Amino acid sequence: MAELAERHEVKVRGHDRTIVFTADSVDGRLVIRQVPDGKNSKDVCSITLADPDELRAFFKGLRRIVASLEHGADVVAETAAPESRRAIGRRQDDEDRKAVIAQARDKNAHAFAQWTKKEEQEIRRRFEQGENPQQIARAHKRSPRAIELRLQRLGLLSPAG
């Protein structure tokens, strides 16, 4: 059977230069190059990672950072081998996630559902009136832990509980 290889490249274009992040699953190298406009490229750094998943995680994070900086139109992302291990792994991850969500929703109908502003206001009101996370969870068809985490995010509950 042929060995599948992946190559990831993300280019972030700036005003006077482009930063190029390149990773190759064959040798596990991640190279970051700076390419000034109209000049030769210069390697900024290079590392080798033994675990290809670490490279994937890096690029996933990099794409989130670039998107949050609103450079979406200025970024070119390329991935070779479309039916690569990454694509196969992502399908399996999606199936696993769906199974976890289905199991959680058997217990709490709104598990993994997106929070609305109205629901956040309601759990804030209930908590401030003295209800505990277990009571609030039953009313909102969510787990007590989900309520605790949301109360923490709203600044109403410390991480220690």
Per-residue pLDDT 10s for the chain (161 aa) are: 344 566 777 777 777 777 777 777 666 777 777 777 666 666 677 777 666 677 777 777 777 776 666 544 344 444 444 444 455 455 666 777 788 888 888 888 888 888 899 999 999 999 999 999 999 999 999 989 889 989 998 999 887 65
**Which pLDDT belongs to residue 79?**
43
At residue 118, the pLDDT reads 94
Residue 130: its pLDDT value, please? 95
**Rounded to two decimals, what is the model's pTM?**
0.43
Parse the chain into domains and list their residue ranges: 7-91, 108-153
The answer to whether 52 touches 6, Cβ cutoff 8 Å, is yes
